[in-house]
A = this chain, B = another copy of it.
């Protein structure tokens, strides 16, 4: 597992997120057989400044052609390579409650090349069943399955009081990236990356803007 070198500069997290957005726009363009796109067009579709688009890409190399723009298919391939989504990413989902269940059935992951290869729960009634073609294992088997199924990335959707313990276990089993839906700040080693998705905070802060 490696990323295209960024020459030692540290890349802002926001740049990486925009890279993902570019990739999606480019995917749509490619499907419509558009051959090239300028930083201005790409920016417009996402509400971003064209200079920002160029600068984001420049962190990783020179992908455009002066006077022409960027070749859609080529740029998309480069970005996927940078993100590491040019190959299948294997995902484990821990916690098959309401949210976990939704994530199991969510089509958006598979569409971007992610594959949930195992789900885990501690509810005996769920363990052993199959949802959306994905087996649900007993959470006791977590470490073993992470190894055997070569899981790269964990999605946490467990109750708040179990989150830290599960995080410790997946990290110990070698996982270095966690998508955390639990509103608990996880304490993990520096080289483990956690992204937080906090639905309650999203809706609460939105309320501020109600007229």
Contact residues of A with B, CB < 8 Å?
1, 3, 13, 16-17, 19-21, 23-24, 45-47, 82-85, 89, 91, 98-99, 101-103, 105-109, 111-112, 114, 152-153, 155, 176-177, 179, 183, 185, 191, 193, 195, 197, 199-211
* Top 6 A-B pairs, shortest CB-CB distance: A102-B102, A193-B209, A98-B105, A108-B200, A20-B204, A176-B211
Q: A20-B200, A24-B183 are in contact. List 6 more A-B contacts (CB 8 A).
A: A19-B208, A46-B185, A84-B210, A98-B107, A112-B200, A112-B204
Q: Which listed residue (B177, B185, B204) contacts A210, Cβ 8 A?
A: B177
- Report the minimum CB–CB distance from A37 to chain B (whole Å): 16
* SS of A interface (majority): helix
Is A83 a contact of B207 with CB atoms below 8 Å? Answer: yes
Residues of B within 8 A of A114 (CB): 203-204
| CB atoms of A211 and B183 under 8 A apart | no
Q: Which of A91, A179, A201, A207 has the most CB of B within 10 A?
A: A207
B-chain residues with CB within 8 Å of residue A183 when the two chains form the complex: 24, 108
**Given A16-B208, A210-B176 in contact, is the A109-B203 Cβ separation under 8 Å?**
yes
| B contact residues around A83 at 8 Å (CB) | 204-205, 207-208
Residues of B within 8 A of A210 (CB): 1, 84, 89, 152-153, 176-177
Chain B residue numbers with a CB within 8 Å of A46 are 185
